[in-house]
């Protein structure tokens, strides 16, 4: 398999690659021009995370957009959810988030956002790809070239939306002590001030924005040892951890224990469903905790394919008040139908304030399951081969094929699917005991590895 195949991903999630190998200025500019032609000659919001390659990518994006008559509006370092909010706030024709999210520093990417402030769906993404592949971009002449504009206070628009829809007073009265791990990412310039606006005393780590990630960028519990130490040593009420583009959120409880990513969404859903019976939308890889919470509080639960846009689209369609993804992605559509770590922090702090319990006490009231995942390096072509064989082998279990393959039992489930963002085969599973989980993950890991040979 060539390096160019493994180090470049073109999908509904955007264009990702290793800078200097597969993600080149020429490719970036060409895809930006294709996107600009698709959305039309209007304003396009551009924001980026803190990667050192962000400025280079930004300049190539600007060139591509200007070449087809768009007007770039630069917001500099800005969380991805804030970029999405700004698209709707300024009635832009679209947006581009320059971020490779949880990928290593050597990667960068472009996430394309439509005029509704949501990521492109499969149909929209295919149309942009068709424009790129057909190489029939309509470049403008000199007299049609537009200027570049700047917006230096974009995050405040996002913050004010959240503060408008949260009970700031009850949170401020509690004077929570909060630790925040900003992952040296796009949340770093804003997270401490945001929490202080909610009356919190804040201990912030990994706030440097020099493009160097000082912990693993994906905010999984195994990467949050320093945050756990900070919460314990400073006697914090809660700890929050973001990823580099600040759309995902993971929690450390008041005892200094990093929680599985599923708990972030479970806490947000628990909070909203206590007073609202509208539907809840989550993806297929979401914990059974959500199913149990919905049964107790009388909410309909709707599953979607994995991927933020699939959940967001269903939420808008059915009027859901809360939803999200199992990776710590809380979607609170009254702010914007997108994953948003800032909205997630506000909701969970409001829950803490209103419940009058510690976060560990609240966690103890939730149903308990054990979640695990495995990533196996695997090309898209090989993934298709493996999935085809797995579906045939397990047809008698009537697998759910909405996205990859999900097998369900009363006390456990497992999903095997090809990643949308990396050359990986993902195995995600949950069970009511750690022994069942380990056994199931081990069996399917060996099965997949055998099928890859």
Domains in the chain: boundaries:
3-152, 157-364, 370-452
Predicted TM-score (pTM) of this structure:
0.91
**What is the CA 337 to chain-centroid distance, rounded?**
12
- Spot the catalytic one: 101, 287, 341, 383: 101
| 3-class DSSP assignment, residue 156 | helix
pLDDT range class, residue 2, cuts 50, 70, 90: very low
Separation of alpha carbons 386 and 166, rounded Å: 46
pLDDT above 80 for 13 = no
In degrees and rounded to multiples of 5, residue 43 shows phi and psi of: -70, 140
Is the domain 157-364 a CATH 3.10.20.30 member? no
Residues forming beta bridges with residue 249, ordered by sequence position: 242
| Residue-level pLDDT at 410 | 81
What topology does CATH give the domain 370-452? TATA-Binding Protein (3.30.310)
Separation of alpha carbons 303 and 318, rounded Å: 12
Average pLDDT, the chain: 94
| Residue-level pLDDT at 453 | 83
Separation of alpha carbons 129 and 127, rounded Å: 5
Could you check whether 3-152 and 157-364 share the same CATH topology?
Answer: yes
Strands 280-283 and 301-304: parallel
Residues contacting 381, CB < 8 A, separation 6+: none
Separation of alpha carbons 319 and 341, rounded Å: 21
Could you confirm whether 13 is annotated as catalytic? no
Under CATH, to which class is 3-152 assigned? alpha beta
| Residue-level pLDDT at 421 | 63
Residue 219 · residue 243 · CB < 8 Å: yes
Strands 405-409 and 412-418: antiparallel
Q: Which two tokens stand for residue 152?
A: 């230096």
- Residues 368, 219, 198, 173, Cα dihedral to 10°: 30
269 vs 178, 214, 334, 343, 439, CA distance in Å? 21, 31, 14, 13, 30
pLDDT range class, residue 6, cuts 50, 70, 90: low
């Amino acid at each position: 398999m060539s390096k160019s195949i493994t180090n470049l991903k073109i999908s509904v999630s955007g264009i990702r690659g290793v800078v200097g190998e597969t993600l080149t200025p020429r490719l970036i500019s060409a895809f930006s021009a294709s996107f600009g032609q698709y959305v039309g000659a209007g304003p396009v919001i551009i924001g980026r995370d803190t990667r050192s390659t962000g400025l280079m990518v930004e300049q190539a994006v600007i060139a591509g957009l200007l070449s087809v008559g768009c007007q770039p509006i630069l917001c500099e370092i800005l969380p991805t959810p804030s970029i999405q909010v700004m698209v709707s706030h300024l009635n832009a024709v679209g947006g581009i988030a320059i971020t490779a999210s949880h990928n290593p520093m050597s990667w960068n990417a472009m996430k394309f956002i439509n005029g509704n402030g949501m990521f492109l769906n499969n149909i929209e993404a295919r149309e942009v790809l068709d424009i790129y592949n057909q190489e029939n971009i309509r470049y403008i002449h000199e007299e049609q070239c537009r200027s570049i504009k700047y917006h230096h206070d974009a995050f405040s628009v996002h913050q004010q939306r959240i503060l408008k829809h949260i009970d700031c007073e009850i949170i401020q009265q509690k004077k929570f002590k909060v630790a925040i791990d900003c992952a040296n990412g796009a949340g770093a310039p804003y997270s401490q001030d945001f929490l202080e606006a909610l009356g919190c005393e804040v201990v912030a780590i990994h706030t440097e924005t020099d493009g160097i990630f000082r912990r693993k960028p994906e905010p999984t519990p195994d990467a949050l040892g320093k945050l756990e130490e900070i919460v314990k040593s400073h006697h914090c009420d809660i700890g929050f951890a973001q990823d580099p583009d600040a759309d995902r959120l993971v929690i450390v409880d008041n005892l200094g224990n990093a929680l599985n990513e599923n708990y972030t969404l479970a806490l947000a859903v628990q909070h909203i469903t206590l007073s609202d019976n509208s539907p809840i939308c989550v993806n297929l890889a979401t914990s059974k905790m959500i199913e149990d919470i919905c049964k107790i509080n009388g909410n309909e639960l709707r599953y979607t394919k994995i991927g933020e846009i699939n959940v967001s689209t269903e939420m808008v369609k059915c009027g859901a008040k809360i939803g999200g993804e199992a990776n710590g992605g809380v979607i609170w559509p009254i702010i914007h139908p997108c994953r948003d770590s800032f909205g997630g922090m506000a909701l969970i702090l409001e829950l803490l304030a209103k419940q009058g319990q510690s976060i560990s006490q609240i966690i103890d009231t939730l149903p308990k399951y054990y979640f695990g995942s495995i990533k196996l390096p695997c090309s898209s072509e090989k993934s298709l081969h493996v999935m085809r064989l797995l579906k045939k082998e397990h047809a008698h279990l009537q697998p759910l094929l909405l996205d990859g393959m999900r097998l369900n039992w009363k006390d456990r489930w497992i999903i095997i699917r090809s990643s949308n963002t990396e050359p990986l085969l993902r195995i995600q599973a949950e069970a009511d005991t750690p022994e069942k989980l380990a056994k199931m993950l081990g069996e399917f890991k060996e099965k997949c590895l055998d099928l890859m040979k």
